[in-house]
Each structure stands twice: as structure tokens, then as C-alpha cells.
A and B are shown apart, each in its own frame.
Chain A
């Protein structure tokens, strides 16, 4: 083999071996870094959460803000107790114990925390001024849909049970996230 030919072969061999070493080095690293994609690393409880006696929600009173607290949340390696998942606005809409309306306090627009405006007796999102009626419907502002109703029920011993769910934000239809 002539010298230039030998050098050419060596050049290609160097690049091939070096490339191989690079690939073998990078592949496991990338695989591990991508591991959490598509995984449920933070679990939310699917079972209903106890919000206390249903009777404490009284018709005609302003909506009550209730913190939604999960007994246990598995967050990657941690099993945390008493984790605040979010908040719900709860109003009584009828006489029967189960006639209670709960709305997620997450704004369907871009996910800020919606507050209650006592002056106008409706909900106001502080980020982009979306207003919602107590029924949850949009009154004004950029939100494309009303506040999301959360599933509630009442247990045999009269306690209000709420199922915490998150919905996709920034769209007109309510869809679980």
C-alpha cells in the first residue's frame, strides 16, 4: 500500500472507530436522560378526596375556596403525604346534600389560579382578566371555555368527596390532561 493510500485508510478507520466510540458513549446517556418522557412520574390520587361535611357549603353564601390535599403522592422517588394538589371553588346549588358545584381554580386559559371577586360576585383570573360567573361560564376575557367542573359526590355519612382532575388549558373543549 502506498503512503497516501495507507493514510487515507487510516483516516477512515480513525473516524469510524472514533464515531463508534462516540455512539456507544452517548447512547446510554441519551437513553437515561429521555427515560422520564412518557412516564407518569408524579401520581395523582384517582380516588375521591374528602372535603369535609357537605353541609358546611350553604346556599347563597359566596363560593368557598377548598384546598385539594392528596393523602399520598408518589413524586418520582418520594412518597409525600398531605400534598396540596390545587384548589377548587365550591358552591351549593340545591337543597339535597349532593347539590354542590365544584370548579377547578385552574384558569382554562393559561393555567393561573382563579380568585373570587367579592365586589362583582364572580371569579376573576388575575393573570389575563378572564371573568367567570358563579356558574363557571365565561363572562369576559380571553378564556375559551368556562371554569372546569370537578366530579363531586356525597358519602353515606354526609361528607363531600371530590375527584381531582387536571384539564388541558388553552383550548375551547374540556379534555383531561
Chain B
């Protein structure tokens, strides 16, 4: 069968031969080609979901990660596949160096290889930012900050970013670099690298032996590819793919860490102290310079390891240093208890953000607004900015407004003790009571009723209490109203409440607020807009300011939505809304 294929491919005739025979030492190049093609395949799949804009990038990745079958797997394979390329490229480099294959006349192959290694690593950097989560965003800021310190740094930074700051153009650019330019560039240079290497042939491992590339070497290559794929799959499954942090948020601090193959540089910066900028640029230059110079320095004809010990020792020393620095960096993080706590919190924030994206979708304003997608969340934000000080904080001066506000239990508690601490207890209505009492028998008596809070309804018959609670609860627009009780409540209302309150549209009560639609969205919207309206608290009984000018219509509607949401919310729901 293989001969049939070979004939059709036009490869019939003398098979390509391998000087010195096959060896597992030669597999790394083939594995690299396989991994690059694999990155291309998985990249195509990712590209069919990814949207390179600041508003959509994180959402599209979160969608792929959490709402598709195997999306997490392909993303994980693509991410860790990049790491695998760096590992295998390193092995390839070491094998080549040990074999002395950089020597004349193969210098060009070696230099192309070194260039490809640099390109592959930069390629990974252009991909890391695309997810536009905290991790990728901050890492990219740092990386570009380092690049800006080098020659033509400012220009490089501006071109890479597409202007002066991270934005839509940055993402389209990095996407273009990552998915269009680098594949072509690495593909072309890689082709050249392989082509020139094939012309020179291998540096034979054994003398006086030759074998056809196919199948003798090919079977070893295939086995190596299978092993690489199996190991990659193992890593991805064990690590459950690759993390996706919370959406990029320039206002939040974040412990950004670079990709693991930059950890040695990261550690070096830590150690360098004030010289970090110089070190961050100089160290890669030294490593790269040594690799480029190696064929020029080690010019002797011998490929024997023993004859080249100083040069191989230098390479081994550099690699050992890089390895040690990498381990030191991970050890430093592992021993930092505070960092572990922050990372734990960051993971919780990420999990919450992704849960919100999954259940409610990402608002079109962008990933950083995913927090506003949950019911009540927009209003919670407005409430926190404008209302919480008076209505929720420990130091509040107004009725407490929290989970369960406006439900049956709340209505009952309120009716039982309207002057309680949770209700009017801290407001001027109650605080100024002694004054009102004192005025009762003076010439100021006419002012006293204005300041009287609502009396407690403790003496109500339990059935009547139930009925009036149901009537008030019905005002909220809740759907689970007991109609019979509500009807009974109308009678009780007429007997007990209607001296002060009204239950007819637009009729001002005699001393108390109109209660039609109490606790409904419309009621809250109007009340918050102007609590001093005669329909509500009246001009003298409340310190609460008007919010109809203070808040936009949207914000006021959001607060109204939030207050309605509170009725059925639990303290846990509220805590969840505030996030980890």
C-alpha cells in the first residue's frame, strides 16, 4: 500500500536515505513540525469562536471555555501545546549542540533555529493577551513595559499596541500577529530551516551505515509524536485545560505572572532590584548572543563532546541557570502565603465572573461589566453609590433596606413595630419624638402630629394582621397573593389604616403615604425620584433627598429593579451580588 502511495505522490524511485542510520535523537525536529501543525489546527478551532475586541474578547473565550463541548480541551491543548513547543525546541537545541551540528557548514541551519526559537516565544506572547482576562492583560502590560525600555522601545510599543494604550486596536493587532503573521513567518523560516538541514544531511551518529528515512526514521518520528501528544493530553486533562481569569479590569490590582517559560526572567528581575530594566533586556540578549555566537566561537573540526567541553559547559551552565531561576520563581510564589490568599480570591472572582457570563451573558458594554448582568446587579451598584450610607451601613440614619425588603415577613415586622431600629427608629420621625411629646401641651402643639411616627399595630387580631399584610404584599405585584386574605385586608385597611393612608390612585393620604403599588417597581421609581411628594412622605417628614435629578432615568429604574429584587432575595443572594 505504501508503495502505491509513494508512486502516486511521485516519490517512487530511490528513497531518501539517512546517513548513519535512524535514531531517536533526530525526532525533535519532526515533533516540532507536528506540534506547530497541531497548534494551527487547534488555533483554527479557537479562531472560529474568538472575537478580537475589548468588549467581546473575554466573553467569547468564556463562551468557548464554559459553553461548548470540548472547547476547554481545545483551548487547553492550544495553550499547553505552545509550552510543549518551547520544551521540544529546547531539546532539539540541546541535541543539536551536543551533536556539534552547528559547525561548518551548518551554521545557517543553527542560526535559523535560534531565530525560530525566539519567534516562537514571541508568538506565544502575542497569544497570551488575546483572552483579555486579568492574567493576559496585566502580563501584556508588563511585557510591553519591558520592551519599551529597549532600543526603539516606544516605537515598538506603539506599533504593537496600535496607538497609545491597550484597546480594540491592540487586540486586532495581536490577533493579526498571532493568527496571520507569525504562522506565515515561522512557517516560511521553518521550511527554510528544514530544507537547508536536509541538504546538509544529519551529522551521522554511526559511521558506515545508511538507511531509508521512510520507514526507519519515520516510525521513530511517529512514535515520538504519539508520545508528545499523549503527554500533552495528559497535562491538559490533569490541569483541566487552562485557566481563564476574570475579565481585564484596569482598576483592579492583580498578581500577573508571565508564561512559565518567562519565569526565569521574572525571577531575575526580582533579584536585580533597581537594575531590573537593564537585566530584563540584557539577559535574553546574552542568552541569544551566546547561541548565535556558538558556531563562531567553537570552530574546531572535532564534534567529539570531550573536545568541546568549555562550549557545551557554557550552554549547560546557561540552561541550568535558567532552570534554577525558574524553580526559584515558582518556589518564591509557593512560599508566599499572602499571594496564595490573593490568588485564591482571584480564582473565586474568576469563577463568579464565568458563572455570570454563562447564566446571564456578557453585557455588550464588555467583559468588565459582566458583574452587572445578574438580576439586581445594576441597581445594586447605583444603590451602593447613592443609598447604602443611609440605608444599609452600620451608621445608617434611615430604615434598613436589605434582602427580604417588602416581603410578607417584612410587612409584618414593620406593622408590629414601625419605630423599631430596622424601620423608622433612627429617623427624625422617631428621634424627635420627645420633642413632639413636649410640644403636645404647648402653643407648638399644631406641629406635633406632623412628627408622629406610625403607631404599632400590635393589638390587631392575628387574622386581621394576616389580611392587611396580604393586602400590602399584593401591592408589590407579587404573583403568589392569597386573594381571599387580600379582600379581607381591604376591610381591615378601611377600619385601621385609612385615617392616614390611601389605597386609591393619586389620592393624598391624611398624614401617611399613599400605599397603592407599595413595593412595586413603579412605586419605588417614583418614590426614589421624589420622596417628599405629598403622595409619599410629604415635604416635612423625611430627610431623604430627591433623586429625580441626581440619578439618570436608567439608574433610577435600576434601583427600582434592585428594590423589587430584594423582596425575594436571600442574604446569600445579596452577598453573591457583592462578589467575592
Contact = CB atoms under 8 A, between A and B. Distances in A.
A177 interface: no
B336 to A, nearest CB: 34
A77 B362 contact: yes
Interface in A1-36: 7, 10-15, 17-18, 20-21, 24-26, 28-29, 31-33, 35-36
B229 A77 contact: no
B45 A33 contact: yes
B68 interface: yes
A12 B5 CA distance: 12
B364 A35 contact: no
A79 B229 contact: no
B73 interface: yes
Contact of A78 (B56, B68, B214, B222): B56
A17 B216 contact: no
Given A20-B226, A79-B361, A81-B364, A10 B215 contact: yes
A76 interface: yes
B41 interface: yes
B62 interface: yes
B477 to A, nearest CB: 14
Given A26-B41, A77-B361, A79-B373, A17 B223 contact: yes
B373 A28 contact: no
Contact of B362 (A11, A20, A79): A79
A33 B46 CA distance: 8
Contacts of A32: 45, 48-49, 64, 68-71, 73-74
B73 to A, nearest CB: 5
A84 interface: no
A74 interface: yes
Say whether chain A's binding surface is mostly helix, strand, loop, or mixed.
Answer: helix
Interface residues of B, number: 43
A29 B41 contact: yes
Interface string B64-90: 100111110110010000000000000
Contact of A25 (B67, B229, B373): B229
A80 interface: yes
A11 B67 CA distance: 42
A166 B58 CA distance: 31
B219 interface: yes
B368 interface: no
A28 B56 contact: no
Contacts of B68: 32, 35-36
A29 B42 contact: yes
B288 interface: no
Interface in B39-59: 41-42, 44-45, 48-49, 56, 59
B2 interface: yes
Contacts of B222: 13-14, 17-18, 21
Interface in A114-128: none
Contacts of B565: none
A4 B353 CA distance: 61
Most central of B212, B215, B357, B362 by chain A CB within 10 Å = B215
A31 B285 CA distance: 42
B214 A14 contact: yes
B70 A31 contact: yes
A63 B388 CA distance: 50
Most central of B48, B225, B361, B363 by chain A CB within 10 Å = B361
Contacts of B209: none
Contact of A35 (B1, B44, B62, B69): B69
B60 interface: yes
B11 to A, nearest CB: 13
Contact of B361 (A11, A15, A78): A78
B220 to A, nearest CB: 9
B364 A79 contact: yes
B423 interface: no
Contacts of B62: 77
Contact of A79 (B41, B73, B215, B360): B360
A29 B364 contact: no
A147 to B, nearest CB: 31
B60 A29 contact: no
Contacts of A18: 218, 222, 225
Nearest to B72: A32
A28 B70 contact: yes
Nearest to B42: A29
B119 interface: no
Interface in A24-53: 24-26, 28-29, 31-33, 35-36
A76 B63 contact: yes
Contacts of B225: 17-18, 21
B2 A15 contact: yes
Interface in B10-66: 34, 38, 41-42, 44-45, 48-49, 56, 59-60, 62-64
Interface of B: 1-2, 34, 38, 41-42, 44-45, 48-49, 56, 59-60, 62-64, 67-71, 73-74, 77, 212, 214-216, 218-219, 222-223, 225-226, 229, 233, 357, 360-364, 373
18 contacts: A10-B216, A12-B1, A14-B214, A14-B218, A24-B229, A28-B45, A28-B73, A28-B77, A29-B44, A32-B69, A35-B68, A35-B70, A75-B361, A76-B60, A77-B59, A77-B361, A79-B360, A79-B364
Given A32-B49, A33-B44, 12 more contacts: A10-B219, A11-B219, A13-B222, A14-B219, A15-B1, A24-B229, A26-B41, A77-B62, A77-B67, A78-B361, A79-B361, A81-B364
Q: Report the 8 A-B pairs with minimum CB-CB distance, sorted nearest first.
A: A79-B361, A77-B59, A77-B63, A10-B215, A17-B222, A35-B68, A11-B215, A14-B219
